[in-house]
Amino acid sequence: MFRQLILLTLGKVKDLQVIGEFGLGKPGLEFCLREKPDLLVVDLMLPDINGMEIARAVRRAVPEMKILVITAHPSERLPADLMALGVNGYVDKTEPIEYVLSAVDTVRAGGMFFASHVRGKGGAVSVFAGTPPPLKVPLTEREKEIARLVAAGQMSKEIASTLNLSVRTVEKHRANIMEKVGVREVASLTRWCIQAGLVDN
């Protein structure tokens, strides 16, 4: 199901053509080594072979190929391990799907894109590396204003007081904002605001 979502997402990218997709790693690796596509998008956890092994084999045989890794199992060490392998980008599956589009654009342009949300000893931390382009912001000016305040840690009551609005109006805006950007909790909205350039990291 997630592979189909990725295919639909990549289908929106201008001047990009998907020439192969596989549910298993070995046939996918064989295809990459034979056809040498410009970009490989690979999941770390595959039924038959680890995505790290695929990335290592591809980087050794076709050094010019761009590699973007996607995983639902992030860790503190993973971004550093992937960078050491020469991977160009890495996106946590729990991030908004727009991150995949941003990652593809950045990697294809020769940049690096690493975005993840991992739980370290001191709590949850967001990891961003490289210079990903800002996400498209589908919010009104009022929604941007409220999103910034939410990301800054303000509660609805505080935001209502600051903007001279009712708490109910603020709550409605918050719900609309989260629906528009595809997140469900404040932590994800904060990460999205950072990536969209609405607030400083």
Q: Are residues 65 and 156 in the same domain?
A: no
pLDDT at position 200 is: 66
The sign of the torsion formed by the CA atoms of 185, 73, 75, 198 equals negative
Between 178 and 73, the more confident residue is 178
When the pLDDT of each residue in the chain is averaged and rounded to a whole number, the result is 82
Buried/exposed 26-35: b ≥16 CB within 10 Å, e otherwise: eebbebbeee
Q: CATH code at 79? A: 3.40.50.2300
Between 117 and 86, the more confident residue is 86
CA–CA distance, 180 with 162 (Å, rounded to integer): 23
Cβ 74 vs Cβ 116: under 8 Å = yes
Could you say which of 81, 104, 130 is where a domain stops? 130
Q: Are residues 31 and 111 in the same domain?
A: yes
Highest mean pLDDT (candidates 5-19, 127-141, 147-161) = 147-161
- Which residues does 100 contact at the CB level (< 8 Å), separation at least 6? 6, 9, 10, 41, 68, 70, 91
Specify the pTM.
Answer: 0.60
pLDDT over 70 for what percent of the chain? 87
Q: Are residues 78 and 146 in the same domain?
A: no
Q: Are residues 165 and 121 in the same domain?
A: no
Q: Are residues 96 and 11 in the same domain?
A: yes
Could you say which of 83, 100, 130 is where a domain stops? 130
Q: Are residues 73 and 159 in the same domain?
A: no
Between 118 and 55, the more confident residue is 55
Q: Could you list the residue range(s) of the whole structural domain that residue 76 is in?
A: 2-130
What's the number of domains the chain is made of? 2
pLDDT at position 71 is: 84
Q: Considering the domain boundaries, does residue 181 fall inside one?
A: yes
pLDDT at position 120 over 50:
no
Q: What is the dihedral of CA 101, 106, 107, 110, to 10 degrees?
A: 160
Q: Are residues 59 and 125 in the same domain?
A: yes
Between 154 and 94, the more confident residue is 154
Q: Are residues 173 and 123 in the same domain?
A: no
Tokens 């770390």 found at: 44
